Amino acid sequence: MIELDSIERVFQVGDEEVHALKHVTLTIDKGEYLSIMGPSGSGKSTLLNILGLLDRPTSGTYRLDGIDTTSMGDNEQADTRRHRIGFVFQSYHLVPRLTAAENVALPLMLSGMAPKERHVIVEQALDNVDLLDRAEHRPDQLSGGQRQRVAIARATIMQPTILLADEPTGNLDHISGESVIEVLEALNKQGIILIVVTHDMDIGERAARRIRMVDGSISKDVR
Amino acid sequence: MQATDFIRLTLGSVFSQHLRSFLTALGIAVGVAAVVLLTSIGEGVHRFVLAEFSQFGTNILAVTPGKNTTFGMSGAVINTVRPLTMEDAEALKRVADVEAVVSVVQGNAEVEFGKRSRRTMIIGAGHAVPAVWQMDVEIGRFLPDDDPRNARAFAVLGSKMADELFGSRSPLGEIVRIAGERFRVIGVMESKGTMLGFDLDDTLFIPAGRALEMFNREGVMEIDLLYRSTANVDQLEEQISRLMQARHGYEDFTIITQEEMLETLGSILDILTLAVGALGGISLLVGGVGILTIMSIAVNERTHEIGLLRALGTRRRQVLGLFLGEAVLLSATGGFAGLVIGAGGAALLGLAIPALPVHTPWYFVLLAELMAVAIGVIAGVAPARRAASLDPVEALRAE
């Protein structure tokens, strides 16, 4: 589970201090499905980056599965990201010169797993997103929806506790977006915490818990 | 990360930009090829020159008159260099470990046979020349072991001399006139070729005592002695110096060992090799700048990928390693190609121009490859560090 306690994030822009997050306190239980919505500059992305340990809060504490992450060193945070957190980005961020299977295998590769062991796990993951027949294709040979599904397979291959999706359907047409959301929701049903940041009201409304952010604070938290 | 995966990832990114990678590696290849080729030529010249000088053997020690030092007192008082005499040579013969001694007197004189005459280098020497200078007679025999003060008028011709004066006739037993004096030819030397432009075959040997008279000299120009290869050179030098000082009263001679001479020559030639190597090193440096440029561009282009790797839990050190690995891969492959080009080029050059001595020592090859790798590391470290230090949020968001 996730426990945020009065998280603040202040950016220095020129001479000005920008308070991107103002005393955000939030608890997310195991297996929750959460959407974060709000206008541009409301701090949704900053919150997501802090949840994903890509960014550090200026003050406040963030406990992940009971462990304080704010006191972690750089390497420890990297290890935590590798094992507990999965990312899905709007622009997929697949490595263009690697095949779908290699992209999915990347986290396993980085953690030092042998190619033989990886093989079965990668096949299973590709099968889960219905792309087993595209395993040897490169990203430029895949459609947008397929690319995002490859990215989801990659994000979940380490069996993380949290899946963070930043506008996962932002670059997709309605039908592809729908199928991507279905895949994400299916993963949530298996117990993963799913956090979706989106502008799309339709997609945001699907979440069991809906958070609205305005000016760096949570203005609404509806279950 | 496993080593095989590391190599696969690195190879993958290098090959995905094959033209660019090829050109970058080519820069290093040209540099390494230049270093290898130039040092091969330098080393070849080195060996060639040393071989020229050591063709007379290496266990030689020469005593020459005069001392190459400046004394503090007025030169007029003690500037009486006693000439080296045949007696000095006789005395040196009795020093332990000395195998043979040759007194040398050189001069130019007209040599006549029948209607032909030729001005040439006359070398006054003794019977020990074949042993000391490692020269052999082709036909006949060398000067006999006569009493040096009263040697018989025999002459031994250099091979070219024999050709010039006698053509296809055998010169053995014939009388030649050298500076008007009659000498009987008793042998012809084997061809020894030239040494640094000086034709060793265009010579004529006569007994040293006779040469002294012929050129009206007081003393010999040099006494060469051959010592046993097992001898301690420093001790021998010391012994000879003491003996000569006892005979002459003070040190008015200089002792040069072949070993010392070769050492000095060797160190001069080492500098030559180093200098041409450094010249090649400049192009290697330019190749290094190429790697630096390409890796900087790669880091810029792959900012997203770096952000992604960081998001996936890659440690900074791993990112550093991946980019450094690419730089080293480029430089090592380029270096290897350069070795093949350089060593192959040197071998071809050796075949095409046999007069040009070429030698590629394996440790230069190894050194050049190590240098290429080191340049890869040095050139790659700045871009790789930049990649590792990128903020993942910024990297993912970058346009």
- How do residues B234-258 score in pLDDT, each as one tens digit? 888 889 999 988 888 878 888 888 8
- Complete domains list, chain A, with CATH: 2-222 (3.40.50.300)
**Chain B residue nearest residue A84, CA to CA:** B313
Cβ neighbour number for residue A141 with a 10 Å cutoff: 12
3-state secondary structure of A163: strand
pTM over cut 0.90: no
Helices (H), B55-174: 75-78, 86-93, 129-132, 159-166
Q: What are the phi and psi torsion angles at B249 (to 5°)?
A: 95, -40
Residues of A in contact with B309 (CB under 8 A): 106, 110
Q: What is the sign, positive or negative, of the torsion defined by CA atoms of B340, B345, B347, B351?
A: positive
Separation in Å, CA of A171 to nearest CA in chain B: 15
Q: What are the phi and psi torsion angles at B119 (to 5°)?
A: -85, 130
**Chain B residue nearest residue A73, CA to CA:** B315
Block residue for tokens 């961020």? A93
**Chain B residue nearest residue A102, CA to CA:** B9
pLDDT attached to residue B196: 66
- B192-222 burial: b if 16+ Cβ within 10 Å, else e: beeeeeeebbbbbbbbbbbbbebbeeebbbb
Q: Which of B208, B243, B376, B284 is nearest to B37 (CA)?
A: B284
Q: At CB < 8 Å, which residues of chain B contact A? A: 1-2, 4-5, 9, 12-13, 16, 304-305, 307-316, 318, 392-393, 396
CA angle A48, A49, A55 (to 5 degrees): 150
Can you tell me the distance from the alpha carbon of A99 to that of A104, in angstroms, rounded to the nearest whole number?
A: 9
Can you tell me the distance from the alpha carbon of A174 to that of A180, in angstroms, rounded to the nearest whole number?
A: 10
Nearest to A110 among B1, B4, B13 (CB): B1
Residue B28 one-letter amino acid: I
**Is A110's CB within 8 Å of B12's CB?**
no
pLDDT attached to residue B71: 53
Nearest to A89 among B309, B316, B396 (CB): B396
How long a stretch of residues is chain B? Answer: 399
Q: Which positions ≥6 away from B135 have C-beta within 8 Å?
A: B56, B129, B189, B190, B192
- Kindly report the three-state secondary structure assignment for every residue of B210-257: HHHHHCCCCCECEEEEEECCCCCHHHHHHHHHHHHHHHHCCCCEEEEE
Average pLDDT over residues A99-113: 92
Block residue for tokens 């930043």? A166
Average pLDDT over residues A199-221: 92
The answer to whether B45 and B346 are in contact (CB under 8 A) is no
3-state secondary structure of B277: helix
Separation in Å, CA of A141 to nearest CA in chain B: 16
pLDDT attached to residue B68: 59
Can you tell me the distance from the alpha carbon of B291 to that of B382, in angstroms, rounded to the nearest whole number?
A: 11
pLDDT attached to residue B46: 84
pLDDT attached to residue B176: 92
**Chain A residue nearest residue B393, CA to CA:** A54
Q: What one-character DSSP code corresponds to residue A91?
A: T
Average pLDDT over residues B134-141: 88
List the structure tokens of A25.
Answer: 């306190």
pLDDT in tens, A181-194: 999 999 999 999 99
Q: Does the ipTM surpass 0.95?
A: no
In terms of phi and psi (left: phi > 0; alpha: psi -120 to 50; beta: otherwise), the region of B95 is: beta
Residue B182 one-letter amino acid: R
pLDDT band for B381, please (50, 70, 90 cuts). Answer: very high
Average pLDDT, chain B: 87
Environment class of B389 (CB within 10 Å of its CB; exposed 0-12, middle 13-18, buried 19+): exposed
List the structure tokens of B5.
Answer: 């995966």
Estimate the share of chain B in helix, then strand, then coil, as percent rounded to the nearest 5.
Answer: 55, 20, 25
pLDDT attached to residue B22: 95
Among A194-208, B237-251, B366-380, the minimum mean pLDDT is found in: B237-251
3-state secondary structure of A12: strand
Separation in Å, CA of B302 to nearest CA in chain A: 9
3-state secondary structure of A106: helix
pLDDT band for B114, please (50, 70, 90 cuts). Answer: confident
How long a stretch of residues is chain A? Answer: 223
**pLDDT surpassing 80 at residue B69:** no
Separation in Å, CA of B49 to nearest CA in chain A: 55
Separation in Å, CA of A79 to nearest CA in chain B: 6
In angstroms and rounded to an integer, the radius of gyration of the C-alpha atoms of chain B is 33
Nearest to A110 among B316, B318, B393 (CB): B318
List the structure tokens of A97.
Answer: 């010169």
Chain B contacts in chain A segment 134-173 (CB below 8 A): 154, 158
pLDDT in tens, B98-111: 889 999 999 999 99
CA angle B88, B92, B96 (to 5 degrees): 165
Can you tell me the distance from the alpha carbon of A177 to that of A186, in angstroms, rounded to the nearest whole number?
A: 14
pLDDT attached to residue B278: 87
Q: What one-character DSSP code corresponds to residue B76?
A: H
pLDDT attached to residue A197: 94
**Is B304's CB within 8 Å of A93's CB?**
yes
Q: Domain residues of chain B, as ranges?
A: 3-52+264-397, 101-219
3-state secondary structure of B57: coil
Average pLDDT over residues A144-157: 93
Separation in Å, CA of A95 to nearest CA in chain B: 6
pLDDT attached to residue B87: 87
pLDDT band for B198, please (50, 70, 90 cuts). Answer: confident
Among A24-33, B8-17, B299-308, B379-388, the minimum mean pLDDT is found in: B8-17
pLDDT band for B74, please (50, 70, 90 cuts). Answer: very low
Can you tell me the distance from the alpha carbon of A62 to that of A66, in angstroms, rounded to the nearest whole number?
A: 9
Is pLDDT larger for residue B66 or for residue A67? A67
Residues of A in contact with B16 (CB under 8 A): 96-97
Average pLDDT over residues A125-131: 91
pLDDT attached to residue B72: 53
**pLDDT surpassing 70 at residue B393:** yes
**pLDDT surpassing 60 at residue B79:** no
Q: What is the sign, positive or negative, of the torsion defined by CA atoms of B159, B165, B167, B170?
A: negative
List the structure tokens of A133.
Answer: 């027949």
The answer to whether B178 and B224 are in contact (CB under 8 A) is no
Residues of B in contact with A107 (CB under 8 A): 312-313
**Is B308's CB within 8 Å of A93's CB?**
yes
pLDDT band for A4, please (50, 70, 90 cuts). Answer: very high
Which of A40, A77, A109 to mutate to probe the B interface, most B CBs <10 Å?
A109
Residue B214 one-letter amino acid: M
**Is A97's CB within 8 Å of B4's CB?**
no
Can you tell me the distance from the alpha carbon of B84 to that of B111, in angstroms, rounded to the nearest whole number?
A: 27
pLDDT in tens, B267-289: 888 888 888 888 888 888 899 99
**Is A82's CB within 8 Å of B305's CB?**
no
pLDDT band for B70, please (50, 70, 90 cuts). Answer: low
pLDDT attached to residue B56: 72
The answer to whether residue A98 neighbours chain B at the CB level (below 8 Å) is yes
**Chain B residue nearest residue A89, CA to CA:** B396
The answer to whether B226 and B92 are in contact (CB under 8 A) is no
Separation in Å, CA of B388 to nearest CA in chain A: 12
Beta strands at A162-166 and A85-88: parallel, antiparallel or unpaired: parallel
Among A2-6, A120-124, B271-275, the minimum mean pLDDT is found in: B271-275
**Chain A residue nearest residue B11, CA to CA:** A97
The answer to whether B167 and B199 are in contact (CB under 8 A) is no
pLDDT in tens, B348-371: 988 888 877 888 888 888 888 899
